[in-house]
Structure 1
């Protein structure tokens, strides 16, 4: 019974945090599955590949839940999301394949350092304090949030697709959903308002993780018992996270994103030193 409650709780926490800032939830599920056996005898050791595969399948459901909620709030830029999927879905399949061939632990430290660099950029960036962004050549869109703030954001299609491929590869490689990079890319590089970036990220993550999940199921690297217990919490967590996101101000969402990326990068580095 304790095992059931803990897995439901992990799913709930992952779904809530993932939906709140568009990260998917893998940053919670994967480390919990890898380390929980050290604290509770009810759990057995989970191999890294199985933890990643189990996480990705759970994220499919939490991202679907939050996507449905964000759709009702009219916060998803579907046109941009579909363009990002062109790169991220093939990238996720490639990342899954690479994961099955290599010992990813040697790359994890560098990924943590990379996240620290991203977080530093997010903290020093002042772009979110502007109501309008510098408009570049390419695709230009507008958005007005619930606070009445108008945003103009733009991006180059080749650059967006190229970066989306990288996001997809990292998603499949580390089982984190890809949102940890996708949201900063949209919000700070392309000028998406944070609410829109988070909601659109969950839409993209849903399909990205679906592609990776199929690959992990084919490889037999999933724990279906854990998945069945993680999904209910993750589903409701997706609803809770999107509700909280709707109530928070733009600056608050941006701050939470900065802090989470920083802490996750530090955590990865500490674990791999």
Structure 2
């Protein structure tokens, strides 16, 4: 078990609250969870924010702990709005939950420098996917498990998936979540939109439900392995709870191009710093 990194210092608590709030709000809006901000922030800003270095395993474990709170409140909000496909979320979670445990057990095996650079390049890839998601043509094939969704305007849309591809994607999402502490939504949402043809709002909402399971399993493994700091998690939790709810509420206006660009700009800055540090 790691010694406690944080003390109950008011300025540090306020910084962690704002970090949890901002990361979770952005994460819930687009279905990513918020770990893409929390992990690099802890790695890069730990010495200045907390006066101590935070290694990768601890950062990932703490991030997943915060994601549990973010995904919980956002999923509840999305469920009340009827945007979550619970059946599909449960199906993806069959493989995402167990694989997140495997990913969590592998985090400490990576060299910190390699981890930071790989994480930075992965974030660059995420930015590209988010920016160009509307220019990529969706898959035109037919799926065995077909679902239907009627939006607020009364327009009915069909989407679906086959068992094996869904389980593979769910497993990859869980592995990424446990390994990197970022939730896995960056892989799940593009897949839902481009391959399984999910409606955008449903993809975001269902992704947060899957992230909740992955974060719960992954954070549990990091806790068992001692890659955990209760004060860090609890200081992020209030902001994560509030941010998850706010992000879910804002997502009904997800057409805001400016908000997406701000998020991508933030991710880009963190990615470049991670690669060059």
TM-score band, normalised by shorter chain: 0.7 to 0.9
- 1:164 aligned partner: 170
Pairing 1:206–2:212 present: yes
Match of 1:30 among 15, 23, 39: 39
**Which whole-Å deviations, capped at 9, do the CAs of 1:37-73 have from their partners, x for residues lacking one?**
3434x43221211111011011001100101100100
**SS at the partner of 1:39?**
helix
Q: More deviation in 105-114 or 235-244?
A: 105-114
Match of 1:106 among 111, 114, 122: 114
Question: Aligned partners of 1:120 and 1:33: how far apart in 2?
Answer: 24
**Which whole-Å deviations, capped at 9, do the CAs of 1:11-58 have from their partners, x for residues lacking one?**
111221111111111011111111223434x43221211111011011
**Offset of residue 230 of structure 1:** 0.7
**SS at the partner of 1:186?**
helix
Question: CA-atom RMSD, angstroms?
Answer: 2.6
- 1:268 aligned partner: 271
**SS at the partner of 2:146?**
strand
| TM-score, with length taken from structure 1 | 0.86
CA contact (8 A) 1:92 1:211 kept: yes
Q: More deviation in 236-245 or 90-99?
A: 90-99
- 1:64 aligned partner: 72
Counting only pairs closer than 5 Å after superposition, residues 244-263 of structure 1 correspond to structure 2 as: 244-249=250-255, 252=256, 260=263
Structure 1: any 5+ residue segments left out of the alignment? none
- 2:3 aligned partner: none
- 1:85 aligned partner: 93
- 1:182 aligned partner: 188
CA contact (8 A) 2:177 2:183 kept: yes
- 1:55 aligned partner: 63
**Offset of residue 272 of structure 1:** 2.3
- 2:6 aligned partner: none
CA contact (8 A) 2:29 2:254 kept: no
**Offset of residue 245 of structure 1:** 0.6
Question: Aligned partners of 2:260 and 2:141: how far apart in 1?
Answer: 24
**Offset of residue 124 of structure 1:** 6.3
**Offset of residue 156 of structure 1:** 1.8
Question: Aligned partners of 1:156 and 1:61: how far apart in 2?
Answer: 30
Q: Name the CA shift for 1:106/1:144 in 2 (closer, same or farther; >3 Å).
A: same
